[in-house]
Chains A and B, each alone.
Chain A
Amino acid sequence: MERWKISQERAGNAPSDDLPQVLMVDGPHGPVVHAANRAAHLAGVTAGARVVDMRALSPALRVEYADPGGDRAALDRLALWARRWCPWTAVDGQGFILDTTGSDHLWGGEPAMLAEIEARLSGLGLSARLALAPTWGAAWALARFGPVRAICGDTAPLPVAGLRLGEDTALLLHRLGLKTVGDLAAVPRLALARRFARADRGDNPLLRLDQMTGHLPEPLAPPDAPPVFRADARLAEPIFDAAHHLPGLCDALCAQLAASGQGARRLRLTVYRTDGEVARIEVAMAAASRDAAHLGFLFRDRLEKIDPGFGFDLISLEAPVTEVLCLVQANLTGGTDAALEVSHLVDRLAVRFGASALSRPVARASHIPERAEMRAAPLEAAVLQPPLTERPARLLDHPEEIRVLYAVPEGPPAQFVWRRQTHRTVRYAGPERIAPEWWQDQPGTRLRDYFKVEDQAGRRYWLYREGLHDDGRGGDPRWFLHGMFV
């Protein structure tokens, strides 16, 4: 909810706190409430209920779609960010857990550390419920059901839902009259073990109780932070031209990439000016690469575009997007790798002229000539498909209308004017009829009759007549010139 609010505020339409607002996700029987703000909670909206029911409860309810995938990614990033307090952090459901053993004294003791964490998180616009306990289970329960900023609190009065059990098991324990953790701990172990012998590990109250009290160890498995490929050049004096430092930076970055078997797909050169301004240049590559000379070449013409101001004293080159790039055996005969050379050429041309200028035409299944070809990415494999009938070598982007001087009822025009020049038809082949594609075209699109026409000078054109005289889709058919044969 808070992440959504921050993103809305960034977009410029900050929601009011007084209006009830919920985020929904699609459930099996229609949308259900994923999260609600404070006004909605006061109006009686609960998470997990259906949106239509909650609308009946509070007619002014405003509903937006939630973004669970984005939430998860944000939580992952937040857990890595939380390594500022201790080295072991991991995401745990809707929250994250920090193993602060041995690092609390660095923050001035446990209460001071909790206050610091809460202040930092509220600086990010997030509210948090924190708790500190000797075991993972106890901390989980205290954070959700205990007092605010509990430190090693008493877990006995907490409800059994704090044992990280599934909903069914929690309901069952509730029906058995075991409402708190203390009640459950008072039951003889043998009876509990017999009753829940077939339960999963996650749903076994005895197991969860042991984890909470510390009888069963539950170590933390923190995920590795994604590696950051970055090379910095810190300069003693501000300079105005980064060109001399670029080869060294590229070498350092490529050494890092080679050590972990990665290749860069995207590179970002950041220049920190002495007056505090930051300038960035980004280049993208068609295929992963860790060739220092090639990477340096891509920046060569773009370094001039940096405004140096009063000079800059820190240059950093990083690879935000990388791909696995294995070492491959080079050509034994001493030649060069053709695919690699073409990908380098594509990168150089894309940096110089923009990525949209370069494309590879590939065939597509369609009878309409302008739809039978598609622009694909430059390195896409071409699908070879021989044409069924003869096609021209040149096609005009927009067919040009021609003026017909002498029309023949069943054939091409005997004379026509195109671009203010009169052409006399000497020989022709056709017609080839191409019907409109009813699944794509507007109703009323007319069919085309294509002719290959040779004029008196030997120039060969591809003409078409749009429609027929009596097809009932507009007036007289018009003639167009669509391409040239060699």
Chain B
Amino acid sequence: MAGSGGDAGAIGFVLSNLAAGPAPVLWIQDRMSRRETGRPYLAGLGVGRSVLMLDLSRPADVLIAAEEGLRCTALSAVVAEIWGDPPALNFTATKRLALRAEAAGVPCWLIRHGGTADLSAARDRWRVGSRPSAPDPDDACAPGDPRWRVELFRSRDKQPGIWVAHHDRAADRVGLSAAVPDGAVEDIAGAGGQRAVR
């Protein structure tokens, strides 16, 4: 990623992990991530997804709003996007989010664009980057189903590892396969990458 904001792999990985259903998703963005990486576009999010958008300016407000959203058990998930490494996003803030999410039983995804992997109390921490997509069966020169390089680099109850995620758009299903040693992929991860925190 390295601050360019052009990689939507983390968004795709989070979207593929959200439960389908009529319950709305609370999607919170701060101003910088909205400006650098755009806003969620309803037509591209998938059929039948209902989103409550909250546009805020400061990262501290995003954390407060995410905590407020986790009080409500009627949501299907809370997705918060934060740009960079704001001082408000410290160990205490992530621990509050993790405890609230566990108490309410609502998954909370914190997407960090262009941040560094500092101290965090998140239960699972992922680093996601885009990979060249699968070949399209109908058109040789068109990009097909998306693939991501997914790294679970810290987890409380799972074995960390690196996978290549393959998103089957027709069935809306994600398959994980073992990572292949691929130089291009390593380059992306080395440049920073995005972290999705659950």
Cβ of B59 < 8 Å from any Cβ of A?
A: no
Residues 123-149 of B at the A interface (beta carbon under 8 Å): 129-133, 136, 139, 141-143, 146-147
A486-B142 contact given A357-B54, A360-B52, CB 8 Å threshold? no
Q: Does A406 contact B (CB under 8 A)?
A: no
A485 to B51, CA, bound (A): 18
Pick from B45, B75, B130, B184: contact of A460, CB below 8 A: B130
User: Would B54 and A393 count as touching, CB distance under 8 A?
Assistant: no
A378 B52 Cβ-Cβ under 8 A: yes
Question: Are A360 and B50 within 8 A (Cβ)?
Answer: yes
A-chain residues with CB within 8 Å of residue B13 when the two chains form the complex:
486
**Bound form: Cα–Cα A336–B133 in Å:** 43
* Residues of A contacting B45 in the complex (Cβ-Cβ under 8 angstroms): 393
In which size bucket is the chain B interface? 35 or more
Q: Does A192 make an interface contact (CB < 8 A)? A: no
Residues from chain B with a CB closer than 8 A to the CB of A485 are 8, 12, 44, 143, 146
A387 contacts which chain B residues (CB < 8 A)?
Answer: 43-44
- Within 8 Å of chain A (Cβ to Cβ): is B160? no
Check if B7 sits within 8 Å of A459, measured CB to CB. yes
A362 and B74: CB pair below 8 A? no
Chain A residue nearest in CB terms to B70: A345
Contact of B72 among A344, A353, A396 (CB under 8 A): A344
Instruction: Report yes or no: A454 in contact with B6, Cβ–Cβ below 8 A.
Output: no
Q: Could you tell me if B68 and A348 are in contact, using CB atoms closer than 8 angstroms?
A: yes
B132 interface neighbour in A338, A384, A397, A454, Cβ under 8 Å: A454
A228 at the interface (CB under 8 A from B): no
- CB of B106 to closest CB in A, whole Å: 11
Q: Does B55 lie at the interface of the complex (its beta carbon under 8 Å from any beta carbon of A)?
A: yes
Answer whether residue B86 sits at the interface, using C-beta atoms and an 8 A cutoff.
Answer: no
Docked CA distance A421–B47 (Å): 33
- Tell me, yes or no, whether B195 is within 8 Å of chain A by CB: no
Instruction: Determine if A428 is an interface residue (Cβ-Cβ < 8 Å).
Output: yes
In the bound complex, how far is the Cα of B141 from the Cα of A428, in angstroms?
Answer: 6
B69 proximity list for chain A (CB < 8 A): 345, 349
**B9 A486 Cβ-Cβ under 8 A:** yes
At the interface, yes or no: B11 with Cβ under 8 Å from chain A?
yes
Please tell me if A299 contacts chain B, counting CB pairs below 8 Å: no
Q: Is B161 an interface residue (CB 8 A)?
A: no
1/0 contact string of A186-201 vs chain B (CB within 8 Å): 0000000000000000
Assembly CA distance A386 to B142 (angstroms): 22
Bound CA–CA A429/B73 (angstroms): 41
Is B56's CB under 8 angstroms from A357's CB? yes
> Chain A interface: which of B30-38, B92-100, B114-122, B150-158?
B30-38
When distances are taken between beta carbons in the complex, the residues of chain A under 8 Å from B75 are 342, 345
Q: Please, which residue of chain A has its CB at the minimum distance from the CB of B10?
A: A486
B33 to chain A, nearest CB (A): 10
Is A394 in contact with B167, judged by CB distance below 8 angstroms?
A: no
Q: B143 and A427: CB pair below 8 A?
A: yes
Let me know if B43 and A373 touch, CB within 8 A. yes
With contacts A358-B53, A391-B41 known, is A484 near B72, CB below 8 A?
no
Q: Given the complex, which residues of A lie within 8 Å of B167, measured CB to CB?
A: 486
A396 to B35, CA, bound (A): 7
Contact with B along A314-349 (1 / 0, CB 8 A): 000000000000000000000010110110111011
**B61 located at the interface, meaning its Cβ lies under 8 Å from any Cβ of chain A in the complex:** yes
Residue ID in chain A nearest B138 by CB atoms:
A429
Residues of chain B lying within 8 A (CB to CB) of residue A428: 141-143
- Residues in chain B near residue A352, CB distance under 8 A: 64-65, 68
CB within 8 Å for A396 and B38 given contacts A357-B55, A359-B53, A486-B12: yes
Cross-interface CB contact of B130 among A348, A378, A458, A483, cutoff 8 Å: A458
Q: How far is the CA of A393 from the CA of B54 in the complex (A)?
A: 17
Q: What is the minimal beta-carbon distance from A297 to any residue of chain B, in angstroms?
A: 10
Partner of B42, one of A362, A378, A460: A362
B128 to chain A, nearest CB (A): 10
A418 is an interface residue with CB less than 8 A from chain B: yes
Q: How far is the CB of B29 from chain A (nearest CB, A)?
A: 10
Q: How far is the CA of A129 from the CA of B37 in the complex (A)?
A: 69
Does A15 interact with chain B (Cβ within 8 Å)? no
A418-B6, A429-B139 known; A458 and B131 CB under 8 Å?
Answer: yes
Q: Tell me the chain A residues, 391-422 only, with Cβ under 8 Å from chain B.
A: 391-397, 418-419, 421
Interchain CB contact under 8 A, B72 and A421: no
B71, CB-defined interface residue at 8 Å: yes
* B41, B45, B68, B71 pick with most chain A CB within 10 angstroms: B41
Contact check, A353 vs B43: say whether CB atoms are below 8 A apart.
Answer: no
What residue in chain A is nearest B50 (Cβ atoms)?
A382
Interface centre among A353, A457, A458 (most CB of B within 10 A): A458
Which residue in chain B gives the minimum CB-CB distance to A430? B142
CA distance A338 to B73 in the complex (A): 8
Residue numbers in B under 8 Å from A418 (CB-CB): 6
**Does B179 make an interface contact (CB < 8 A)?**
no
Tell whether A358 pairs with B54 under 8 Å between CB atoms, given A391-B44, A397-B35, A452-B143: yes
Are B188 and A457 in touch, CB under 8 angstroms?
yes
A-B contact pairs, 24 of them (CB 8 A): A336-B74, A341-B73, A345-B26, A345-B71, A345-B72, A345-B75, A352-B64, A358-B54, A359-B52, A363-B42, A363-B43, A373-B43, A394-B40, A395-B41, A427-B133, A427-B142, A456-B184, A458-B131, A459-B8, A460-B8, A485-B146, A486-B11, A486-B12, A486-B13
* Chain B residues with a Cβ under 8 A of chain A: 4-9, 11-13, 15, 23-24, 26, 34-35, 37-45, 47-48, 50-56, 61, 64-65, 68-69, 71-75, 129-133, 136, 139, 141-143, 146-147, 167, 184, 187-188
5 additional A-B residue pairs with CB within 8 Å, beyond A359-B55, A362-B42, A484-B8: A338-B74, A373-B42, A393-B15, A459-B8, A461-B6
Please list the residues of chain A having a beta carbon within 8 angstroms of any beta carbon in chain B: 336, 338-339, 341-342, 344-346, 348-349, 352-353, 357-363, 369, 372-373, 375, 378, 382, 384, 386-387, 390-397, 418-419, 421, 426-429, 452, 454, 456-461, 483-486
- 8 interchain residue pairs of minimum CB distance: A486-B12, A429-B142, A338-B74, A394-B38, A391-B43, A395-B41, A341-B74, A484-B8
